[in-house]
Structure 1
Amino acid sequence: MKLVNVTNSYKQLVNKQLENTDAYFVKVYSAGNTTVVYSEATKHAEILIVNKKRAVRKTEINEILAYFLKRIPKEKYRQEDISIIELKDVTEISIPVTSSLVEQ
Structure 2
Amino acid sequence: MTTIEPDLPELDIVTPYGVATRLPTSFPLIDPELDVALDHDLFQQGFDDALTRLESMPTPWAHHFATLTMAAEPDLTAHEPSYIRGYRAALYGYLRHGNRQSPR
Asked if TM exceeds 0.5, the reply is no
More strand by share: 1
Which protein has greater RCO, CA pairs closer than 8 Å, 6+ apart?
A: 2
What TM-score do you get using the length of structure 2 for normalisation? 0.24
The structure that has the greater radius of gyration is 2
